[in-house]
Amino acid sequence: MFDKEMMAALEADGEKLRSLTGEDHGPWPVITDTSPCPRCDERELWRESADVGVGVIYGPYGCPCCGWSEAEECDLEKGGGVQPDGSYLDPFGGLTPSTNPIAIMLAQEAKKETI
């Protein structure tokens, strides 16, 4: 997609911004439906989408195999999964309410694992 010179320039810009702010400013890899999962190399990444009539809104890419998510708050190792209120945040950005039978079952399983 980008040539080597462009990637080198983007990396240099990211490093300069990181040194100034202490935060990661990329460059980030381009993720597509056929990209391998950064955690487990699974090749079936998926994301939610909603056609709103004037365009399509996309959720974060996620891996159904290991629970990795492009959005850190949805990653099952970093904040996704069963939430304190009993709801379930999946790797694709979907929030299942705590009253949903699936969320109830997942919360019960999470409690068993911590015992």
pLDDT tens-digit map of 70-80: 888 889 888 88
Partnered with residue 69 across adjacent β-strands are: 62
Residues 24 and 48 both lie in one domain: no
Whole-number pLDDT of residue 115: 61
Tell whether 17 and 39 lie within a shared domain: no
Q: What is the pTM of this model?
A: 0.65
* Residue 56: per-residue pLDDT: 94
In total, how many domains does the chain have? 2
61: Cβ–Cβ under 8 A, 6 or more apart, which residues? 31, 35, 45, 46, 47, 69, 70, 92
pLDDT digits (tens, 9 = 90+) for 27-71: 777 788 888 888 898 888 999 999 999 999 999 999 988 999 988
Q: With bands split at pLDDT 50, 70 and 90, how would you rate the model's confidence at 99? A: very high
Whether residue 25 contacts residue 12, with contact meaning beta carbons closer than 8 Å, is answered with no
- The closest of 38, 98, 94 to 68, measured between CA atoms, is 38
Same domain for 10 and 46, yes or no, is no
Domain containing 8 equals 1-28
pLDDT at 68: 92
- Closest to 33 measured CA to CA, from 51, 49, 52, 11: 49
